[in-house]
Amino acid sequence: MPTYHIEMMEGRTVEQKRKLVEEITRVSVEVLGGSPEYVDIVITDIKRENWATGGKLWLERE
Amino acid sequence: MPTYHIEMMEGRTVEQKRKLVEEITRVSVEVLGGSPEYVDIVITDIKRENWATGGKLWLERE
Amino acid sequence: MPTYHIEMMEGRTVEQKRKLVEEITRVSVEVLGGSPEYVDIVITDIKRENWATGGKLWLERE
Amino acid sequence: MPTYHIEMMEGRTVEQKRKLVEEITRVSVEVLGGSPEYVDIVITDIKRENWATGGKLWLERE
Amino acid sequence: MPTYHIEMMEGRTVEQKRKLVEEITRVSVEVLGGSPEYVDIVITDIKRENWATGGKLWLERE
Amino acid sequence: MPTYHIEMMEGRTVEQKRKLVEEITRVSVEVLGGSPEYVDIVITDIKRENWATGGKLWLERE
């Protein structure tokens, strides 16, 4: 509370995730207040065969 | 915008997903208007041990 | 099973929703198989102050 | 209807999931009414590199 | 952690929600372990014009 | 892509949301790369009767 769910294309490194959750938490506390310990973040890695934009899977777009 | 999240039992082929996102996007634009490029679709493949109906995991139902 | 969650900007009519769920269900059964009664669809109407693209709320984009 | 989505740290056994969905369904029917067959439950197993609290991934917290 | 998202048809009382979250939390701790303070539950009340089964909005089904 | 879903207790101002989506988008592009236009953010305002921690609705916790 607040809770963030982040959907991103698979392939990001743990280092990128580590940095991202640190920054998102900092920004969240700055803007919304509260303690960092109340900020929960869940990341979902999406496979290219499971994300589509404009009617085409990303597997086929690139 | 709009965004579709589709949960389905695992095991569908890429060809089925390819066809599904094409059709969903077409239907979405027909009914809601807008450009196909604004239609995002995310598919989640659910394992049979992770979906339950009537208090029973699908792993055990079939 | 399958389950569809659709996020759309608020303001669509019940008639549009009625047509959309009918078409999505038809397409889903055609491509994935199964009975229409197993297709669940949940729509979420999003307010313009609650959706952002490119760092800007849609309230401010248009 | 109702539908439950449960996010839990990965590593739980099928036996725990089996027990959990049985109990959640029983409780749901007791409190909200309806038939067990209308209770759907989807579990998501989250990896420790994909859940953060207080700005730190659980991979690093323990 | 764990986190429960519950979608239910609108119209349930606060008393039903109060009872439901108490029971879900108790069951969760019994089966998965951990402390009750780590169990988060978010309820979403769905309008009958926003839920469809079998291609028909619940607004029209009953 | 990426897409952020943020659940927060209701009562935040449009100005706070405006600032939050600006900052989240900036941080996202810095850490994950890509263009700001591909960052989508959806906020859900949760009522105190719909969020529980430790088995108690927030309506009753404070």
Query: Strand, coil or helix: what is C34?
Result: coil
| Domain total in chain F | 1
Phi/psi zone of residue A38: left (φ > 0), alpha (ψ -120 to 50 degrees), beta? Answer: alpha
pLDDT for res D16: 98
CB contact under 8 A, A2 and F16: no
Q: What pLDDT band is residue A62 in, cutting at 50, 70 and 90?
A: low
Pull the structure tokens for residue B59. Answer: 């792993």
Q: What pLDDT band is residue D1 in, cutting at 50, 70 and 90?
A: confident
pLDDT for res F61: 83
Residue of E5, F53, E52 whose CA lies nearest to A42: E5
Interface B:A, ≥3 CB–CB pairs < 8 Å = yes
CB contact under 8 A, D52 and A37: no
Please, is B49 exposed, middle or buried when counting C-beta atoms within 10 Å of its C-beta (0-12, 13-18, 19+)? middle
Query: What would the pLDDT profile of D7-55 be if each residue is shown by its tens digit?
Result: 999 999 999 999 999 999 999 999 999 999 999 999 999 999 999 999 9
pLDDT for res A61: 83
Letter string b/e over residues A27-54, b meaning 16 or more CB atoms within 10 A of that residue's CB: bbbebbeeeeebbbbbbbbbebbbbbbb
Question: What's the CATH number where F19 sits?
Answer: 3.30.429.10
Touching E (3+ Cβ pairs <8 A), the chains are A, C, D, F
Residue corresponding to tokens 């934009």: A53
Over residues C21-44, mean pLDDT: 97
Interface A:C, ≥3 CB–CB pairs < 8 Å = no
Over residues A24-50, mean pLDDT: 97
| Domain ranges, residue E49 | 3-61
Q: Do residues A28 and B17 lie in contact, with contact meaning Cβ atoms separated by under 8 Å? A: no
pLDDT for res B62: 66
Reported as type and span, the H/E element at residue E6 is strand E3-9
What secondary structure letter does DSSP report for A47?
Answer: P
Cβ–Cβ contact F18 with C under 8 A: yes
Complex ipTM tops 0.90: yes
